[in-house]
Amino acid sequence: MKYSSLVEVYEKIESTSKRLEKTYHISNLLKKTPDEDLQTIILLIRGRLYPDWDKRKIGVASKLVLKAINASSGAGINKIEQLWREIGDLGLVADRVIKTKSQSTLFSAKLTVAKVFSNLRRLNDMEGAGSVDRKVQLISELLSSADEKEAKYIVRTVLEDLRVGIGDGTLRDAIVWAYLPIDVKYNPENVSIDVDREKYNEIVNIVQSAYDKSNDFSTVAIAARKGVSELKKVGLIPGKPVKVMLAQKVLSVDGGFEKVGVPAELEYKYDGFRMQIHKSEGKITIFTRRLEEVTKQFPEVVKCINEHVKGESFIIDCEAVGYDSKTGKYLVFQHVSQRIKRKHNIQELAAKLPVELNIFDILYYNGEVLLDVPFEERRKLLEKIVSEKQSEIILAKKLVTSDKKVALKFYEESVEKGNEGIMLKSLKSVYKPGSRVGFMVKLKSQMDTLDLVIVGAEWGEGKRSGWLTSFSLACIDEDGNYLETGKVGTGVKEKEEEGLSFGELTKMLEPHIKQESGRAVVIKPEIVLEIKFEEIQKSPTYSSGYALRFPRVIQVREDRAPEECSTIEMVKEAFNNQKKT
């Protein structure tokens, strides 16, 4: 398949903000895609080279792309950098210089999606001496054969910044429109569909279920092309991570009972980091909620699971909570988060910062997918297969009740023990990977917080010179667009020994800088901060329509992926809730 066919769709999608229109254009592309290119197209349509469960990155810096544009176009580096400062998008820079390039390749060929995909996949594997030059060569080879529009999207894909706004729901619906037995009538004037709503929702749910289990839209599209019966065969595979189920927030026990129903199971809400633990063919694999594998960082967890959990194969959901080895008291997330990134002296850090596993759910056991099994039955299974050992592995402390007074006492007990609050769960609920569901909610003791991603900053002046400061924050909408909610600097320290510092944040953010203009910096969404605030106000200044008043940084949430930051709906809900209190 020609790469130009994909580029045409990119252009159409980028030119509209209407979700149904985007869905229509993608579905038409999928219908035309041959079997051998379907997996590649599904990935590239969102500017990716790997499925959601595979956390490898292309990892190519903007400066390297500048060299590739120079090598393929003949335009001077200074000219390219000047254009970049003016335009702020290296994809558009490539578009402009390729259109007017002074050198052309004698034997340029029409690009195919397979060729583009192959060259870009090879970038990730290159390391060591000479790797920079080889990467430049691979990119410039593509740009030399590209027209200006193709060059724009090749560069954006390399930089993992496609800028066309395709969310999971849009791609899911495009697969439904393209392959399944539904008569979709599209009217571009009013952007509507004419379809039997009940039948449509049924098939959308089947596709969503397949994605929930596989965490891979390529697998879903290939199955959908073969029909509904094939989609229903898609299942969980131990060793291949899936997105964890997320909880909504409530402000009171009454609000929690109203959401999940009564009686409900209440559990301690621990201030640790989420672990998804897989066992398959005798091998234990540990993933964070960002789907990053951290098995090597937690050798004691592997040993503990082997000794205390019965079963040939399983997928367990739990929280790893740090504790003080002398006092036995739980530690807050900040103390143990460093274990996630540790590559060396692992045993030493494990002894210094031990963790206790608090097991609370199970998704798969001995060949059976448990997502649709009621929660109370999943919990009973855990009670049969987990042998508890204090300070190593326990089942999350629970209480089943319909009584508000009993629930409040349990909440106060949890907070007194140093936990964040409690979880309230519906006894009959299913497990929905990746969803922020209403049948599992959290009630926290502290002032409300949001998890927001950094999308910009400013270089400091005076004593803060050399540091990034004044960090622009954003939430996310259903199409994956990041919407700004304000700026924050309070809570970040000048001295590293005092806590999270400007120097530390600068080091984290520098690899993700996309554009600089004077002191202002645009940053690729990657780093998530937990933010406290006094209130939320409506604001025309920011793209979300809201602004945080007196925001303060609590901590970096290294366990949060950028797409897991707070949604615009959560911001609206927090705004509406404060009006009631």
Each residue of 7-51: pLDDT tens digit?
999 999 999 888 888 999 999 999 999 999 999 999 999 999 998
For 17, phi and psi rounded to 5 degrees? -105, 0
DSSP track, 140-176: HHHHHT--HHHHHHHHHHHTT---S---HHHHHHHHH
Identify the residue with better confidence: 21 or 403: 403
- The Cα–Cα gap between 492 and 148 comes to 43
CB hemisphere CA count around 77 (13 angstroms)? 8
Catalytic status, residue 269 = yes
Burial 66-97 (b: 16+ CB within 10 A, else e): bbbbbbbbebeeeebeebbeeeebbbbbbbbb
**Which one is catalytic: 22, 149, 249, 269?**
269
User: For 341-374, how does the pLDDT look when each residue is reduced to its tens digit (9 = 90+)?
Assistant: 777 788 888 888 899 999 999 999 999 999 999 9
**Measuring CA to CA, how many Å separate 307 from each of 132, 146, 279, 293, 387?**
46, 56, 12, 21, 9
DSSP track, 509-562: HGGGEEEEETTEEEE-S--EEEEE-SEEEE-SSSTTSEEEES-EEEEE-TT--G
Q: Are 560 and 289 in contact (CB under 8 A)?
A: yes
Identify the residue with better confidence: 462 or 310: 310
Residue 446, pLDDT above cutoff 70: no
Position 190 scores a pLDDT of 65
* Amino acid code (one letter) for 203: I
Looking up tokens 């092309």 gives 225
Helix or strand or coil: residue 115? Answer: helix
CB hemisphere CA count around 14 (13 angstroms)? 18
Nearest CA to 257 among 26, 498, 443, 68? Answer: 443
Identify the residue with better confidence: 422 or 131: 422
Position 196 scores a pLDDT of 77
pTM of the predicted model, to two decimals? 0.82
Query: Parallel, antiparallel, or unpaired for β 314-322 and 355-365?
Result: antiparallel
Long-range contacts of 32-35 (CB under 8 A, 24+ apart): 32/1, 32/5, 33/1, 34/1, 35/222, 35/225
User: For 80-122, how does the pLDDT look when each residue is reduced to its tens digit (9 = 90+)?
Assistant: 888 888 888 889 999 998 887 644 444 456 899 999 999 999 9
Residue 393, pLDDT above cutoff 80: yes
Average pLDDT over the chain, rounded to an integer: 89
Percent of the chain topping pLDDT 70: 96
In angstroms, how far is CA 341 from the centroid of its own chain?
17
Structure token pair of residue 451? 């998890």
The answer for residues whose C-beta is within 8 angstroms of residue 82's C-beta and 6 or more apart is none
Range from 134-143, 150-159, 309-318, 443-452 carrying the lowest mean pLDDT:
443-452
- The Cα–Cα gap between 78 and 99 comes to 18
Helix or strand or coil: residue 400? Answer: strand
Position 107 scores a pLDDT of 45
Tell me the domains of the chain and their CATH numbers: 246-444 (3.30.470.30), 449-580 (2.40.50.140)
User: For 491-531, how does the pLDDT look when each residue is reduced to its tens digit (9 = 90+)?
Assistant: 999 888 788 899 999 999 998 888 888 899 999 999 999 99
Helix or strand or coil: residue 46? Answer: coil
Cα end-to-end span (Å), the chain? 58
* Range list of β-strands (E), 292-378: 314-322, 355-365, 368-369
- Categorize the per-residue pLDDT at 191 as very low, low, confident or very high, splitting at 50, 70 and 90: low
Q: Are 553 and 500 in contact (CB under 8 A)?
A: yes
